[in-house]
A = this chain, B = another copy of it.
Amino acid sequence: MAGRNARITKDTAYGYHTQMNVGSKPERTRLSAEDWEVAALGLIAEQGVGALAVEALARQLGVTKGSFYWHFRTREALLNAALERWEQYGEREIIDEIAQISDPRKRLPELFRRVAHELQPHRVYAALLKALDHPQVVPVMARVSQRRMEFLTTAYREAGLAPPQALNRARLTYAAYVGFLQLNFTLGLPRINHEEFEAYVEHMIATLIPA
């Protein structure tokens, strides 16, 4: 009986998953493959790909392995499904919104500020960066990173940089983004505070974006 009280429910949709519903009724709805994938992404975001174990996940979901192996053939299959889900739904929104800004020169600063202010969706990306030794995640990360790099490159071209400069500036910018993820909420370097962070973002904009 004990062990049934820590559950993850589907209504805590993608970006806001891994919310315990402590205190609410057990609401013993049966699970779908999607539930497992979402929960898997939550676990990955918090503890990394290495911590993705089926029995641990089952405990979190309030069921046993018997359930899991009905929905998936193997643990590997779950990982692939979760990664695919992340690649499909987890991204794009920001890029799409930015692309609709008319003035090309305002796109990059806006992009920087947006990304800086919603770091939550980037936790999965950060976790996957640490899991590049798992062969399954490499192609996914390669595709996602490549798409973002291309978006950045054209944005820099539209902001006035010559093609070679634009490519290199995009490389630099994206590397800074990736490095920042690692150094901050992965490693916990001297915990930068809010206003200091704002200043850092503006410094980035002033340094990396051509006037």
**Chain A positions near chain B (C-beta within 8 angstroms):** 47-48, 50-51, 129-133, 138, 141-142, 145-146, 149, 164-165, 168-169, 171-172, 174-180, 182-183, 186-190, 199-200, 203-204, 207-208
Contacts and interface: CB of A to CB of B under 8 A. Distances in A.
Contacts of A186: 129, 132
Q: Which of A50, A178, A204 has the most CB of B within 10 A?
A: A178
A183 B133 CA distance: 13
A50 B133 contact: yes
23 contacts: A50-B133, A129-B130, A129-B186, A129-B187, A130-B132, A138-B187, A142-B187, A146-B189, A168-B199, A171-B180, A171-B200, A172-B176, A172-B200, A172-B203, A172-B208, A174-B183, A175-B175, A176-B176, A178-B178, A178-B183, A179-B180, A179-B182, A182-B182
Given A47-B133, A130-B131, A169-B203, A179 B187 contact: no
Contacts of A190: 146
Nearest to A149: B189
Nearest to A204: B172
A132 B165 contact: no
A180 B173 CA distance: 10
Nearest to A207: B172
Given A164-B199, A172-B207, A199-B164, A145 B187 contact: yes
A8 to B, nearest CB: 20
Given A188-B142, A207-B172, A133 B130 contact: yes
Q: Which of A172, A189, A190 has the most CB of B within 10 A?
A: A172
